[in-house]
Amino acid sequence: MSGDHHHYFGDVVNMRDGQGNQGIVHHHAPAAPVTREQALRAVRELAEALRTELPEPDRQALDEELAALGGSGEGPPRRRILLAIAGIAASVGALGQPLLDSVRAALELLGT
């Protein structure tokens, strides 16, 4: 088998004998925490991207929710707005999944 080449993707570990082997220790830096503002910004950006794929009535509903989300705190609570946006995202199936995931993350950060 001389000349065979093996290509591996990911971690390759070879342990032969020894004592107290601990396995692989990965030293990855922890991800920076996401703030509420960043999570809401992500919701807005993904909603804008999805907007063009929606039928007109859903697009209008999404526009209304986004306007309320960007408000000064008056009007409906953010939780209710985010749930309405999640409903619109869910209505378009896999196409809306990134927005739906973003809304879930924002809801977690809002503590709801």
- pLDDT tens digits, residue range 19-68? 776 667 666 666 777 888 899 999 999 999 999 999 999 999 999 999 99
Q: What is the pLDDT of residues 55-104, one digit of tens each?
A: 999 999 999 999 998 765 555 689 999 999 999 999 999 999 999 999 99
Q: Which amino acid is at 22?
A: Q
CA distance to 2, 11, 84, per residue, from 52 (Å): 57, 41, 18
Give the separation between CA 62 and CA 35, rounded to whole angstroms: 23
Residue 90 phi/psi, 5-degree rounding, is: -65, -30
Would you state the structure tokens that stand for residue 23, as one six-digit string?
Answer: 């396995």
Res. 5 pLDDT band, cuts 50 70 90? low
Query: Is residue 46 within 8 Å of residue 96, measured between CB atoms?
Result: no
